[in-house]
Amino acid sequence: MKILVLGSGGREHAIGIKLSQSPQKPTLLFAPGNPGMAELGICHPIAADDISALLQLAKKEAVDLTVVGPEVPLVKGIVDVFRAEGLLIFGPTKDAARLEGSKAFSKAFMARHKIPTAAFETFHELKPALAFLDKTGAPVVVKASGLAAGKGAVVCQTLDEARTAIESMLGPNAIFGEAGSEVVIEEFMAGEEASVFAVCDGKNYALLPTAQDHKRIFDGDMGPNTGGMGAYSPAPLMTAELLERVCKETIEPTLEGMHAEGYPYHGVLYVGIMVTAQGPKVVEFNCRLGDPETQVVLPVYEGNFIELLMASAAERLSKAPLETPQRSAAVVVLASGGYPGEYQNGFSITGLAEAETVAGVHVTHAGTKSKDGTLVTAGGRVLGVIGEADTLAVALKAAYEGVGHIHFEGMQYRQDIGQRGLKALG
Ligand code: AMP
Ligand code: GLY
């Protein structure tokens, strides 16, 4: 069996690792991949959103399944193109991927189907958007509707901040370009966040283990948002009762609604949840797995991952209750100094092999590159150090012990990954 994985980050490396451990022993191809993935299979230097070149590759190599890591190719319609050629591919169609690609679409969809989420309005023009703030007051959340690489949501504590955010999107500077030409202004929800992942086949779904991400750059959830500085799975906050509510109140009506409206949902429905005083509400939908959540969700998932992906793509998922994972995993992301702002690349990385000698520890590559036979930094998020163990506490200890072996100039990471999870466990 041949599987092509699209993407170049820690998430796709983690997908590659999980696939390589499956009993089917697949041959793995990656596009474009990274030095970590190069240890698992062949990397083809094709961008993950170069749909026509990827289609050629998939045909030439006669791949049995293509797994799409990032959102951009999904939102651009790679699934439609592959399907039209009779190729099996894991992910939603272009219309279905609007659940992530257009916040205006996903919020209106949730309103139509009475799915619990923050109250909102959508705007295309500056004046009415600013005027709406008189009604909302602060705190309030301003979001660019389109894809903005995780930077499009601004939580505003004051009306001044909200005005600035709205002006930056709908004003002359238009910092997010087309993605910010439509803006969602929504109610601020207080609570704790967790992520739920449903693998869907258009009608049925199966849950993956839950996770909690750490989006801010600094300890104590301070500083700007990042792609994610660490995660752990499962998330103790998401009790069986809450998860049941998310299934009944969000996942099932979403699948039914998408089907009824003519764009059935396949692939991963990533549901970002805020657990509020009124119960779980949707913060956002994503149309793919999370990064770095995947690095911890897949190690604790006990099912047959390839079978799950194939069943989703081929529309033959059988409904199965989620078994509570027996183990826990935690990932600490090692980032370049300056990230998520400007940073330098090209610093040499040492200590990976030593880190992996710690029991239960492995490392995923995100922003790395091979240069003259040595590994150097090549991105904002450079590596993920994952600890796996019977308990979250031991998994965290292992991950941080692994981190202690790794070095590159300017390396920064959060010291408090998993602390909320430990608190929730009591
Ligand atoms: P999003 O890109 O929509 O996931 O938003 C990024 C982050 O902003 C979320 O993970 C939350 O921490 C925060 N956020 C987004 N929407 C809200 C909201 N309505 N209330 C409170 N926090 C929010
Ligand atoms: N870690 C957040 C995301 O993948 O969207």
**Lookup result for tokens 């596009």:** 31
Domain ranges, ordered by start, for the chain: 2-91, 125-181, 192-313, 328-425
> Cα of 60 to ligand 2 centre, how many Å?
32
Atom 5 of ligand 1 has which residue's CA nearest to it? Answer: 153
Considering every ligand atom, which ligand is closest to the CA of 190? 1
pLDDT tens per residue, range 22-54: 999 999 999 999 999 999 999 999 999 999 999
218 lines ligand 1 (CB under 6 A): no
Considering every ligand atom, which ligand is closest to the CA of 228? 2
Considering every ligand atom, which ligand is closest to the CA of 9? 2
- Cα–Cα distance for residue pair 350/86, rounded to 1 Å: 44
Atom 4 of ligand 2 has which residue's CA nearest to it? Answer: 290
Instruction: Give me the chain's average pLDDT, please.
Output: 95
Q: What is the amino acid identity at position 225?
A: N
Q: What would the two tokens of residue 34 be? A: 């990274």
Which atom of ligand 2 lies at the shortest distance from residue 213's CA? 1
Pocket of ligand 2 (CB under 6 A): 213, 227-228, 286, 290-291, 293
- Percentages (nearest 5) of helix, strand, coil residues in the chain: 35, 30, 40
> Cα of 317 to ligand 1 centre, how many Å?
31
213 lines ligand 1 (CB under 6 A): no
- Cα–Cα distance for residue pair 76/310, rounded to 1 Å: 22
Residue 224 is predicted with a pLDDT of 86
Residue 174 is predicted with a pLDDT of 84
> Cα of 394 to ligand 2 centre, how many Å?
24
Residue 353, classed as helix, strand or coil, is: helix
Scored b (16 or more CB within 10 A) or e, 83-118 reads eeeebbbbbbbbbbbbbbbbbbbbbebbeeeebbbb
Which atom of ligand 1 lies at the shortest distance from residue 283's CA? 16
Task: Kindly give the confidence (pLDDT) of every residue in the chain, 426 residues in length, as a single tens digit, with 9 standing for 90 and above.
Answer: 999 999 999 999 999 999 999 999 999 999 999 999 999 999 999 999 999 999 999 999 999 999 999 999 999 999 999 999 999 999 999 999 999 999 999 999 999 999 999 999 999 998 999 989 888 888 999 999 898 877 888 899 999 999 999 999 988 888 888 888 889 999 999 999 999 999 999 999 999 999 999 999 999 999 988 989 999 999 999 999 999 999 999 999 999 999 999 999 999 999 999 999 999 999 999 999 999 999 999 999 999 999 999 999 999 998 776 778 999 999 999 999 999 999 999 999 999 999 999 999 999 999 999 999 899 999 999 999 999 999 999 999 999 999 999 999 999 999 999 998 998 887
Fold of 2-91: Rossmann fold (3.40.50)
> Cα of 141 to ligand 1 centre, how many Å?
7
> Cα of 168 to ligand 1 centre, how many Å?
18
Q: Which CATH architecture has domain 125-181?
A: 2-Layer Sandwich (3.30)
pLDDT tens per residue, range 185-217: 999 999 999 999 999 999 999 999 999 999 999
Which atom of ligand 1 lies at the shortest distance from residue 117's CA? 19
Atom 5 of ligand 2 has which residue's CA nearest to it? Answer: 290
> Cα of 37 to ligand 1 centre, how many Å?
31
Considering every ligand atom, which ligand is closest to the CA of 294? 2
> Cα of 283 to ligand 2 centre, how many Å?
12
In this structure, which CATH number among 3.60.20.10, 3.90.600.10, 3.30.360.10, 3.40.50.150 belongs to the domain 328-425? 3.90.600.10
404-407 long-range contacts (CB < 8 A, ≥24 apart) are: 404/355, 405/351, 405/352, 405/354, 405/355, 405/357, 405/358, 406/334, 406/349, 406/350, 406/351, 406/352, 406/354, 406/355, 406/363, 407/349, 407/350, 407/351
> Cα of 95 to ligand 1 centre, how many Å?
23
For residue 215, CA distances in Å to 30, 138, 175, 346, 381 come to 27, 22, 21, 25, 12
> Cα of 396 to ligand 1 centre, how many Å?
26
Residue 238 is predicted with a pLDDT of 94
Residue 2 is predicted with a pLDDT of 98
By the 8 A CB rule, do 345 and 377 touch? yes
CATH code for residues 192-313: 3.30.470.20
283 lines ligand 1 (CB under 6 A): yes
Which of 28, 35, 27, 29 shows the shortest CA–CA distance to 10? 35
Q: What is the pTM of this model?
A: 0.95
Which atom of ligand 2 lies at the shortest distance from residue 286's CA? 5
